[in-house]
Amino acid sequence: MKTTPLIYLLLLVFISCNNIKKETDKDAVNDTIKKELTSYNYVYEGDLERTYIKHRIMGLKEELEVYDPSNPENNENTIAFQAETEAEILQLNKDYQAIRIIKKGILPIIPPPPPPPPVPCLCFDVFNRLNKIVTTNNIVTLSATLTDTNGKKIFATLGINPQPITHSDLVVFDLNTDLEKFTDEGYLTIEKTLKDTTKKSYTVSVNVHPIENKR
């Protein structure tokens, strides 16, 4: 018996409706992920890396300031150090410019931190509800470790799978942790793998503020 065109049409309608349902369900999940982001519980990884690069460049320039290129006692090692340091600064500046800046309106706006202590550190300010890191979707794996200034581990997360944010090229890595019991200075280390298998890691000084101090 031959299948009639009507049956083919019904099959096409069924397949189409099923695909639409899958996409709708997927969007609903992604919308939920985006709604879970608040003004206090996430940080954009690009901002962390830009902070690290700025502080690294400052440190390298301070090292160069004590180097006198006109000193006749300079040996091959010190000359090589100068060349390598200047090359690193140049590369860091390129990396800094290449990091994407997120436009306003895509993510919740993080409020300004409370007033700094009398002797502020060169820290990246976060709140103690931090449990998510937002990145661009060219990062496929990410690990995060927070220690206090004495080296005591506050949390460490490994093997986090990214969750896409709908209608954007951003993803969320859920740290599955809560910092409410920690409000102090510390060090946040990020290790990430890009789609091209490039691996990067860096450490940023952070100042964790209690959310009660919001204004």
The candidate with the shortest Cα–Cα distance to 201, out of 215, 213, 187, is: 187
Q: How far apart are CA 155 and CA 180, in angstroms?
A: 12
Which domain does 77 fall in, by range? 36-213
Position 2 in a domain: no
- pLDDT greater than 90 at residue 18: no
Position 160 in a domain: yes
- Structure tokens, 151: 């080296």
Give the residues across from 190 on adjacent strands. 144, 202
pTM, 2 dp: 0.79
Residue 27's pLDDT is what?
Answer: 47
Query: From edge to edge, which strands make up the β-sheet containing 170-174?
Result: 42-44, 132-136, 170-174, 163-164
Averaged pLDDT for residues 119-135 = 90
Give the residues across from 206 on adjacent strands. 124, 186
CATH code (residue 96)? 2.60.40.1220
Per-residue pLDDT band at 69 (split at 50, 70, 90)? low
Q: How far apart are CA 161 and CA 200, in angstroms?
A: 17
- pLDDT greater than 70 at residue 178: yes
Overall domain count for the chain: 1
Output the CA angle 203-208-212, nearest 5 degrees: 165
Q: Which residues contact 205 (CB under 8 A, 6 or more apart)?
A: 55, 121, 122, 123, 124, 185, 186, 187
Position 12 in a domain: no
CA dihedral sign of residues 70, 76, 82, 83: positive
φ, ψ at 90 (rounded to 5°): -60, -45
- pLDDT greater than 70 at residue 131: yes
Tell me 114's DSSP state: P
Q: How far apart are CA 139 and CA 196, in angstroms?
A: 9
Position 185 in a domain: yes
Position 5 in a domain: no
Q: Which amino acid makes up residue 38?
A: T
Position 100 in a domain: yes
Q: How far apart are CA 64 and CA 67, in angstroms?
A: 5
Position 24 in a domain: no
Position 145 in a domain: yes
